[in-house]
Chain A
């Protein structure tokens, strides 16, 4: 009975953590990164509930903790989406690579030309 085994849930949560980290690193858009972070938080909540079900002396504490994680995830999403919208209105892009306002000019690297070439890439490169 895998559904009555703590390790099953822990492995699923570990998978969610790793795939969330992969998504945060791999994504080229802020929304994609935000969604991956949500996956990490959901995995953490699953871990808390699994420990709560199988190990904890008191069944309410894990549920309260998971509820807090859900509230924090919702707050994070609200703030994150509002940041993304503000950044989009300011810079007209949500590509993290092009948001290099604070980046130091690196000698020998034509950052503007690179970015323009990237932004002007054909529609086949997108989506």
Chain B
């Protein structure tokens, strides 16, 4: 194991730490803007993990879609619809917190046990062509319908969002 491998492993741990810290920040902070910040950190860590999984394409897509689109939309949502006076972003009551946190830790440990005990058989004829060219060819040929469906879904969602926002206020 050379020096490069050690460095790569350290970077890998850093990305995992970024993901975990971002997730904890996203659900524990009481300020909504910090919540978006935590989510953005977690998404960045996941983008790094995607790079370690051999897909630079999805790493870029993660940064573009999650950090570039979703986080910006969330920030705008907070800036337009949020005023500190009107949102009581209090946590749950303390006795509920005493139950919720151990329950979540237990769930993680249970899932960890299940992951550890399962035997994951690798596919015998696993191809190892992770190149962008191969993915692009597959996207346009075999998975062309799926690719188009994402586009149509996004278009419909954006049109629907505009319609929902511009609907007239109920005069009461």
Contact = CB atoms under 8 A, between A and B. Distances in A.
A11 B78 CA distance: 31
**Which secondary structure dominates chain B's binding surface?**
helix
A22 B94 CA distance: 14
Interface residues of B, number: 97
**Which secondary structure dominates chain A's binding surface?**
helix
Given A1-B9, A78-B161, A93-B86, A86 B127 contact: no
Contact of B86 (A2, A8, A76, A92): A92
Interface of B: 1, 5, 8-9, 12-13, 16, 19-20, 23-24, 26-27, 30-32, 35-36, 39, 42-43, 46, 49-50, 52-55, 57-58, 61-62, 65-66, 69-70, 73-74, 76-78, 80-82, 84-92, 100-101, 104, 107-108, 111-112, 115-116, 120-130, 134-135, 138-139, 142-143, 146-147, 149-151, 153-154, 156-158, 160-162, 164-165, 167, 169-170
Interface of A: 1-3, 6-12, 14-23, 25-29, 31-32, 34-36, 38-39, 42, 45-46, 49-50, 52-61, 63-64, 66-68, 70-79, 81-86, 88-90, 92-95, 118-119, 121, 123, 125-127
